[in-house]
Amino acid sequence: MKPAPFEYFSPSNLNEALGLLEQYGEEARILAGGQSLMPLMNLRLARPKVVIDINRLSELQYIKNDNNGSLTIGALTRQRMLERSDLVQRGYPLLTATIPLVAHSQIRNRGTIGGSIAHADPAAEIPALCVALEAEFIVRSARGQRVIPSKDFFLGYMATALEPGELLTEIRMPAWDQAYGWAVGEVSRREGDFALVGAIVLLRLEKKDVCKEARIALFGVGAKALRMRRAEDMLCGGNLDERTATEVARLVSEELEPDSDLHASAEYRKEVGGVITRRFFVEALERAKKAKKR
């Protein structure tokens, strides 16, 4: 018996869950897949007075295409469902490539997309993906609903814009442009562990390989997933080639101010941040060139 005692509720629908959240406010923690909250409770780093288990809310478990091509995902959708989804595999290559990087299969069988976002671990892949794709989050409470863009959602180390009483219910990812060249990857101690450093690169080209759009997100190197605005600005409007790769790696490495911890020093993260940005930039550029030829 490891977690400290708590009151347990297992609501069967969203309204009931929102009512409980309203009633218990800051005393309550939401239990989704439990792959982050349960470790914290087992170690007693978290001692919620009330646990609201939302696993019966099957209404929050879906993957759908909107008319405009955007992807809407229910917050309780398990990472494994995304991994196996035909819809995702057919139309969203970056999402398809990112999900298997999330922990191990046993974790993805339970872990949910909403849980990962609400937990906001700075080394987690899904929040970084949302920041790179500029996803939006639908948040519900007994008082109503609001839409929060990812740039306003992640505030800092495991801190989000979610207020007590609010529940993340849906993730909206913008329509995937087939012209995107993309790459994602990370360096970790063991396959599936949290990233020591991870990066996502998205590139879109105009004629003559001029960069129309560049997005670079790094994770594991700060209090939250970070967009590398200096490097993105440098890339936009310029010609992209091998030399640009070196320059972008240098800019990213300079911009990073990571912390040291048990697993890696700040110097290591700074250096490797540049190295993997270079690697994924080259990969994304190749894909963007191919996409343009099609």
Partner 1 sequence: MSKKAAITLTVNGKSYERSVEVRMTLADFLRDELALTGTHVGCEHGVCGACTILLDGEAVRSCLLLAVQADGRKLMTVEGLARPEELHPLQMAFQERHALQCGFCTPGFLLTAHAFLKENPVPTEAEVRKAISGNICRCTGYLPIIQAILDAAPIIKSVSRE
Binding site for partner 1 (CB under 8 A): 1-10, 31, 34-35, 38-39, 42-43, 51, 53, 55, 80, 103-107, 109-110, 190-192
Beta carbon nearer to partner 1, 51 or 173:
51
**Beta strand residue intervals within 190-289, DSSP E:** 197-205, 211-219, 226-227
In this structure, the strands spanning 144-149 and 136-141 are antiparallel
To partner 1, the closest distance from the beta carbon of 182 in angstroms equals: 21
According to DSSP, residue 78 is labeled: B
Minimum separation from the CB atom of position 237 to partner 1 (A) = 40
Residue 77 carries which DSSP code?
-
DSSP-based three-state secondary structure for 8: strand
User: What is the closest distance, in whole angstroms, from the C-beta atom of residue 41 to partner 1 in the complex?
Assistant: 8
Q: Give min distance, CB of 5 to partner 1, in A.
A: 6
Phi and psi based region of residue 94 (left: phi greater than 0; alpha: psi -120 to 50; beta: remaining):
alpha
DSSP H or E segment with residue 154: strand 154-156
We find the least distance from the C-beta atom of residue 6 to partner 1, in angstroms, to be 6
Chain center to CA of 145: 21
CB 216 within 8 A of CB 228: yes
> Which C-beta is closer to partner 1: that of 6 or that of 268?
6
Instruction: State the DSSP H helix or E strand holding residue 151, giving kind and residue range, or none if neither.
Output: helix 150-153
- Cα atoms found within 13 Å of the Cα of residue 217, Cβ hemisphere only: 26
Please state the closest distance from residue 195 (CB atom) to partner 1, in A: 14
Closest approach, Cβ 38 to partner 1, in A, equals 4
Say if CB 173 and CB 71 are below 8 A apart: yes
Q: How far is the CB of 110 from partner 1 (least distance, A)?
A: 5
Q: Closest CB to partner 1 among 44 and 290? A: 44
* Beta strand pairing call for 7-9 and 50-53: parallel
Strand (E) or helix (H) holding 218:
strand 211-219
Nearer to partner 1, 11 or 258 (CB): 11
Distance CA 97, CA 185 (A): 9
Given the complex with partner 1, which of 49 and 290 has the nearer CB atom?
49
Q: Which is nearer to partner 1, 34 or 181 (CB)?
A: 34
Nearer to partner 1, 33 or 273 (CB): 33
H/E stretch holding 216 reads strand 211-219
Closer CB to partner 1, 75 or 285, in the complex: 75
